[in-house]
């Protein structure tokens, strides 16, 4: 049991080893060799974990859950921001409590992944729940579950990506649990490919596991990324959905060979003679380009590209060297700025989004959450994603987000984004 937890926890592990390194490296340059070796070593640890059964571990929580209560009346909920307001530039301000955040608890929401159930595992402070995101040019309305379900009646939404896509979807299910619990109508027993139906609103939500978005294949400790072949695990399922939220970033830090047209064209931390280390900046860019091109070729709904969740919140060490995120309040906007790997990956996403949009028939929206989340080092599970256990080494999680927690803002933003122009 303890071992399982350790494995499952590390399954979705990040690239935090990169943090230090990144601050020393200029955006275009390849990392220096000692860092490469460090990252390679960590990468080996990362890929050891292949256990996925806890992806949607919700059944156990059901028993203790209350049935949904009726939606809370809030005069500020469910509104629409003025056209032209940039939702993604702003600051976190103390929540006056007008709408009663947090929106849900681990009792009202049965969909919280164990490792993000921070209060269950003893997180002592609650202050991280009492902030709201205020865009510079307008107010972001509170999440109104009833309005959301009403607005998207008969519609379907797909999340595609890694465990942060799952974190996002579980936040949305928790927010909606005020009004309705979904029925699991998944076609496969694999929880990474779940489909949920909100029967009384005929709203469908699904998740497709594809951490690289392109075909990927693990051989030994190394991933083989087919950078010019979209991953059919999601692409084949997407037509017919109205909205798709695409995201990917963290897994590109793992050691990988890059394959194009069936040939090895380079790698990230492979240390194979004759194979150029093109760095993860190359694989992330090419994979995203391939995914967006393929998607816009088969899909005529709304494409949302969510930018990366910061990889840089570990302090005091790397993820496996005692690094942790113990802050209890957000940064002010002048206390941090996007840098290093976060900045590089973000730049790639913004550029590839713009490139795809020019050519796309689909409606495309960039969900640019990185800057807002960069200010929330206080929103991660840290060591409260599990009980302390003396027999196994469990790492601090500064990558995923507690539920409830700041990630709930992604759905306040998503609601605004999905509303038709
Ligand atoms: C919600 O509150 C507002 C202001 O207090 C009130 O005018 C409105 O009737 C309420 N709506 C519902 C559905 O209770
Ligand atoms: C919910 O969190 C509380 C602490 O606030 C904890 O005691 C309880 O076990 C948790 N319940 C569930 C179902 O996760
Ligand atoms: C539910 O929505 C789907 C589209 O997502 C539509 O095809 C179907 O007819 C709807 N079902 C009902 C019962 O309204
Ligand atoms: C995965 O990699 C192995 C060995 O590198 C190869 O034989 C196999 O065909 C690959 N599978 C896919 C689906 O690419
Ligand atoms: C979108 O594509 C579907 C088939 O994938 C088609 O039924 C539908 O009419 C298309 N909608 C528009 C607006 O082109
Ligand atoms: C950030 O700005 C606040 C005022 O908004 C100021 O009080 C504080 O000293 C600034 N901090 C830094 C690190 O510049
Ligand atoms: C942890 O280790 C101690 C001492 O080695 C042992 O007595 C105990 O049973 C172990 N606990 C678990 C849950 O494995």
**Quick one: which atom of ligand 2 is closest to the CA of 117?**
14
- Closest-CA residue, ligand 3 atom 13, reads 202
Residue 69 appears among annotated catalytic residues? no
Cα–Cα distance, 77 to 91 (Å, whole number): 19
Is 380 in the active site? no
**How much is the pLDDT for 31?**
37
CB 270 within 8 A of CB 257: yes
**Residue of 391, 392, 393, 394 best suited for mutating to test ligand 7, as the one with most atoms within 8 Å of CB:** 391
Ligand nearest to the CA of 226: 4
Question: Which residues have a Cβ under 8 Å from the Cβ of 7 and sit 6 or more positions away?
Answer: 48, 49, 51
The Å distance, Cα 389 to ligand 7 centre, comes to 9
Cβ < 6 A, ligand 7 pocket: 2, 391
154 touches ligand 3 (CB under 6 Å): yes
Ligand nearest 390 Cα, by number?
A: 7
Q: Which of 320, 342, 368, 397 is catalytic?
A: 397
Evaluate: CB of 119 within 6 angstroms of ligand 2. Answer: yes
Task: Give the closest residue (by CA) to ligand 7 atom 2.
Answer: 391
- What is the β-pairing status of strands 156-161 and 203-209? parallel
Question: Using CA atoms, how far apart are residues 269 and 222, in angstroms rounded to an integer?
Answer: 9
For residue 325, report the distance from its CA to the centre of ligand 6, in Å. 21
| Whether residue 229 has pLDDT greater than 60 | yes
Distance of alpha carbon 291 from alpha carbon 228, whole angstroms: 9
Each residue of 155-198: pLDDT tens digit?
999 999 999 999 999 999 999 999 999 999 999 999 999 999 99
Determine the Cα angle at 120 with ends 119 and 122, to 5°.
Answer: 65
Cβ of 218 less than 6 Å from ligand 4: no
Q: What is the pLDDT of residue 29?
A: 35
What average pLDDT does the segment 90-95 reach? Answer: 94
Cα dist. 355→8, 56, 281 in Å? 36, 34, 16
Ligand 1, residues 75, 142, 145: which to mutate, most atoms within 8 A of Cβ? 75
Among 47, 218, 219, 270, name the best residue to mutate to test ligand 4's pocket (greatest count of ligand atoms within 8 A of Cβ). 219
Q: Could you confirm whether 242 is annotated as catalytic?
A: no
Backbone angles phi, psi at 265, to 5 degrees: -110, -5
Question: How far is the CA of 196 from the CAs of 84, 159, 174, 185, in angstroms?
Answer: 33, 12, 13, 6
pLDDT (average), residues 45-63: 37
- pTM for this one? 0.82
Which whole number is the average pLDDT over 279-283?
97
> Atom 5 (ligand 4): residue with closest C-alpha?
219
Closest ligand to Cα 70? 1
Using CA atoms in the order 257, 260, 261, 265, what is the torsion angle rounded to 10 degrees? -70
pLDDT at residue 386, as a whole number: 81
> Of the residues 156, 241, 298, 300, which should be mutated to test ligand 5's pocket, given the most ligand atoms within 8 Å of the CB?
300
Instruction: Round to whole Å and give the CA distance between 322 and 315.
Output: 9
The greatest distance separating any two alpha carbons of the chain, rounded to the nearest whole angstrom, comes to 64
Residues forming beta bridges with residue 264, ordered by sequence position: 259
User: What stretches of 256-305 show up as alpha helix (H) in DSSP?
Assistant: 279-298
Q: What is the mean pLDDT of residues 76-80?
A: 72
Q: Which ligand is nearest to the CA of 111?
A: 2
Q: Whose CA is nearest to atom 1 of ligand 6?
A: 334
Query: 106 CB less than 6 Å from ligand 2?
Result: yes
CB distance 319 to 17 below 8 Å? yes
pLDDT in the model for residue 74: 36
Q: How far apart are CA 115 and CA 391, in angstroms?
A: 18
Q: What is the pLDDT of residue 385?
A: 86
d(CA 360, CA 189) in angstroms, rounded, equals 34
**Rounded alpha-carbon distances, angstroms, from residue 282 to 30, 224, 335:** 11, 14, 30
Specify the 3-state DSSP secondary structure of 2: helix
> What's the pLDDT band for 387 if we cut at 50, 70, 90?
confident
Residue 240 reports pLDDT greater than 70: yes
More confidently predicted of 11 and 118: 118
3-state secondary structure of 353: helix
Cα–Cα distance, 294 to 300 (Å, whole number)? 12
The pLDDT confidence band at residue 421, using thresholds 50, 70 and 90, is confident
Distance CA 305, CA 284 (A): 14
> Cα separation of 61 and 107, whole Å?
8
- pLDDT at residue 54 is higher than 80: no
- Dist. CA 397–CA 385, nearest whole Å: 7
Closest residue CA from atom 14 of ligand 7: 391
| CA distance from start to end of the chain | 49
pLDDT at 58 over 70: no
pLDDT for 106-162, tens place per residue?
A: 999 999 988 899 999 999 999 999 999 999 999 999 999 999 999 999 999 999 999
Q: At what angle do helices 2-11 and 33-48 cross, to 10 degrees?
A: 130
Q: Cα dist. 323→17, 156, 257, 394, 398 in Å?
A: 10, 39, 28, 12, 9
Q: What's the 264 CA to ligand 4 centre distance in angstroms?
A: 13
Please report the pLDDT score of residue 391 as a whole number: 66
Q: Is the CB of 61 under 6 A from ligand 2?
A: yes
Catalytic residue, from 10, 163, 256, 312: name it.
Answer: 163
319 half-sphere exposure, CB direction, 13 A CA radius:
29
Q: How far is CA 208 from CA 125, 157, 234, in A?
A: 33, 11, 5
Tell me what pLDDT residue 317 has.
87
Mean pLDDT of the chain: 83
* Cβ-contact 166, 207 below 8 angstroms: yes
Please determine, for residue 393, whether its predicted confidence score (pLDDT) is greater than 90. no
CA of 72 to the centre of ligand 1 (A): 10
The two three-digit tokens of residue 228, written as one number: 């010019």
């Amino acid at each position: 049991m303890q071992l399982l937890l350790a494995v499952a926890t590390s399954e979705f592990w990040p690239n935090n080893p990169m943090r230090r390194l990144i601050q020393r490296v200029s955006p275009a340059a390849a990392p220096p060799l000692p860092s490469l070796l460090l990252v390679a070593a960590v990468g080996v640890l990362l890929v050891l974990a292949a256990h996925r059964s806890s992806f949607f571990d919700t059944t156990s929580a059901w028993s203790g859950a209350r049935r949904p209560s009726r939606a809370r009346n809030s005069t500020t909920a469910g509104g629409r921001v003025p056209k032209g307001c940039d939702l993604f530039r702003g600051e976190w301000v103390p929540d006056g409590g007008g709408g009663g955040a947090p929106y849900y608890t681990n009792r009202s929401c049965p969909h919280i992944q164990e490792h993000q159930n921070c209060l269950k595992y003893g997180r002592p402070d609650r202050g991280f729940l009492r902030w709201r995101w205020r865009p510079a040019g307008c107010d972001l309305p509170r999440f109104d579950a009833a309005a959301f379900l009403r607005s998207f009646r008969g519609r379907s939404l797909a999340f595609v990506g890694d465990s942060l896509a799952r974190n996002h979807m579980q936040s949305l299910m928790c927010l909606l649990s005020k009004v309705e619990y979904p029925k699991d109508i998944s076609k496969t027993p694999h929880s990474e490919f779940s489909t949920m139906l909100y029967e009384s609103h005929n709203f469908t939500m699904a998740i497709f596991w594809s951490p690289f978005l392109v075909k990927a294949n693990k051989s030994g400790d190394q991933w083989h990324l087919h950078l010019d072949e979209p991953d059919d695990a999601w692409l084949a399922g997407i037509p017919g959905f109205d909205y798709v939220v695409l995201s990917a970033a963290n897994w590109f830090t793992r050691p990988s060979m890059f394959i194009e047209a069936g040939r090895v064209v380079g790698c990230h931390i492979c240390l194979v003679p004759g194979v150029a280390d093109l760095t993860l900046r190359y694989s992330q860019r090419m994979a995203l380009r391939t995914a967006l091109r393929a998607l816009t070729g088969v899909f005529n709904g709304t494409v949302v590209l969510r930018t990366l969740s910061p990889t840089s919140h570990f302090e005091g060490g790397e993820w496996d060297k005692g690094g942790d995120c113990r802050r209890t309040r957000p940064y002010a906007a002048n206390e941090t700025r996007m840098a290093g790997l976060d900045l590089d990956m973000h730049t790639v996403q913004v550029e590839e989004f713009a490139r795809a949009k020019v050519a796309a028939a689909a409606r495309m929206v960039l969900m640019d959450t990185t800057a807002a989340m960069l200010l929330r080092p206080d929103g991660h599970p840290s060591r409260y994603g599990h009980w302390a256990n003396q027999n196994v080494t469990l790492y601090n999680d500064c990558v995923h987000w507690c539920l409830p927690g700041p990630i709930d803002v992604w759905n306040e933003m998503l609601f605004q984004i999905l509303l038709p122009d």
